[in-house]
Structure 1
Amino acid sequence: MDQPTVGILHPGSMGAAVAGCAAANASEVLWCEAGRSAASAARATQFGLTPVAELAELLDCSDIVISLCPPAAAEDLARDVAAHRFAGVYVEANAINPVRAQRIAALLEPAATVLDGGVVGSPPVDGKTPTLYLSGRDDATARIEALFAGTAVRTAVLGAEIGKASALKLSYASFQKTSRVLVALAVGMAREHGVDQELIEVASQRTDSYLSEPQYIAKTASRAWRWGPELEEAADTLAAAGLPPEMLRAAASTLARWNDAKNDGKLTLTDALDRLAQP
């Protein structure tokens, strides 16, 4: 099979790195410059992506499009793609709830073949090997498996049902991200009473606990702007299943206190806890 042309929407920290891996088995990987930031352009350059001026050009040239964007933008982006009658494989790889994934599939089909996707793990740089879980038509999932063969992005197919990959992604995120929020609250409470070092010492005796990694609180704060919406999506999924969503909504509300720390790589543990304590 000829190497496909791939379009990435859009080159954020995860999207750019995933697109860079796809480039190993693609003839070209395109990204759309319209409305994107200088930081997006820098990431695209770093990973060898080819710029195009408009979304229509990207869609006209691409055999496969991968959507990796903040959850709130996923459906509007899919509508824009549907308006251009994209006819290739569309990988909906955002952290959205299964019902939203099914709505997006309905928007784009039958012109396009839609795959549900979810990335579990860190961006594929510095030895990290995330897994792209997929669900959808066998012939289309096989094309995505081939696209990432031999790269740092692993693939795993969960079956034909749209929504399965999204459900797995959010199920994992609901535990992992809420656990990090609980660590921040526990350390914040201990610090208020002058026993934070003692708490960390207690936690260090349990190396299988996130509580033994308080340094990760600053990273949590810098990622809160996108983790919060993911947890809202997970809460919606719980509610749809008849399960209580309140814990995840509370975690999302807590993360919102850090929204102004977006991608702040210089944030310290002290800074993060100070911000958390300010409504």
Structure 2
Amino acid sequence: MDQPTVGILHPGSMGAAVAACAATNATEVLWCEAGRSTASVERATRFGLTPVAELAELMELSDIVISLCPPAFAEDLARDVAGRPFAGVYLEANAINPVRVQRIAALHEHGATVVDGGVVGSRRSGGKTPILYLSGATAATERIEALFAGTAVRTVVLGTEVGKASALKLAYASFQKTSRVLVALAIGMAREHGVDQELIEGPSRRTDSYLSEPQYVAKTAARAWRWGPELEEAADALAAAGLPPEMLRAAASTLARWHGVKDDGEVTLTDALDRLAQP
């Protein structure tokens, strides 16, 4: 099979990194400059993505389109694509609940083939690599597997049912992200009583505990603007399954206190805890 041309709809930090991996097995990876920020331009340039002026041009030239954006925008992007003559593979890789993915697949029923995707793990760092879980029509998932073969993104196919990959992504996120929020609250409470170092150095060392990684609280604060919406999506998925969603909604509400430090790589543990106590 000839190498495809790939379009990335939202070259954020994760989207641009995934698109750069796709470039290994693609003729070209395109992105649309219209309405994007200076940071997006710099990021796309750094990752070697090719700019086009309008979404229509990206759709016309692409064989595979990847949607990887904040959850709130996923369906609007899908509608924009569905309104254009695109009959390729649409990789819906956002952290959204299975019901929303199925709605997006229905939008493309007479056009693109939708593959459900869920990225678990961060961009390649410290020897760790992200896993892209896939579910959908076999021929389409095979094309996505081929696109990332031999790259830093490992693919795992979960079956042909659209929604499975998103369910796995949100199930993982509901544990991993909520656990980090609980760490911040535990350390914040301990700090108020002057025993935070004892908490970090004592009980947390008895098991493989997130409490032994207090430095991650600052990273959590910087990522809260993305994590909160993911947990709301996970809460919706819990509710749809007849499970109580309140814990995840409370974690998302806690994360909202950190919106003022969006992507701030300089925020410290002390800063993060101060903002948590005094929003």
- 2:249 corresponds in structure 1 to 249
Shift of 1:204: 4.5
Aligned positions of 1:67-216 closer than 5 A: 67-124=67-124, 127-206=127-206, 208-216=208-216
Shift of 1:84: 1.1
| Structure 2 letter corresponding to 1:245 | P
Identity over aligned residues, as a percent? 84
- Residue by residue over 1:54-98, the C-alpha shift from the partner in whole angstroms, topping out at 9 and shown as x without a partner, is 111101000000000000000011011111132110000000000
CA distance 1:203–1:13, shift in 2 (3 Å): farther
- Residue by residue over 1:119-143, the C-alpha shift from the partner in whole angstroms, topping out at 9 and shown as x without a partner, is 0000135643100000000000000
- Retained in 2: the 8 A contact 1:18–1:124? no
Shift of 1:234: 0.2
> Secondary structure at 2:66's aligned position in 1?
strand
| Structure 2 letter corresponding to 1:60 | E
- Retained in 2: the 8 A contact 1:206–1:212? no
| Structure 2 letter corresponding to 1:68 | L
- 2:14 corresponds in structure 1 to 14
Task: Find out whether 1:268 has 2:268 as its counterpart.
Answer: yes
TM-score by length of 2: 0.98
Mapped to 2, the partners of 1:31 and 1:125 lie a distance apart of 24
TM-score by length of 1: 0.98
Q: Hey, which bits of structure 1, 4+ residues long, moved more than 2 A?
A: 124-128
Mapped to 1, the partners of 2:196 and 2:19 lie a distance apart of 41
**Stretches of structure 2 lacking an aligned partner (at least 5 in a row):** none
- 1:5 corresponds in structure 2 to 5
- Retained in 1: the 8 A contact 2:204–2:210? no
- How many residue pairs get matched? 279
> Secondary structure at 1:41's aligned position in 2?
helix
- Retained in 2: the 8 A contact 1:116–1:166? yes
Shift of 1:46: 1.1
CA RMSD of aligned residues (A): 1.0
- 1:240 corresponds in structure 2 to 240
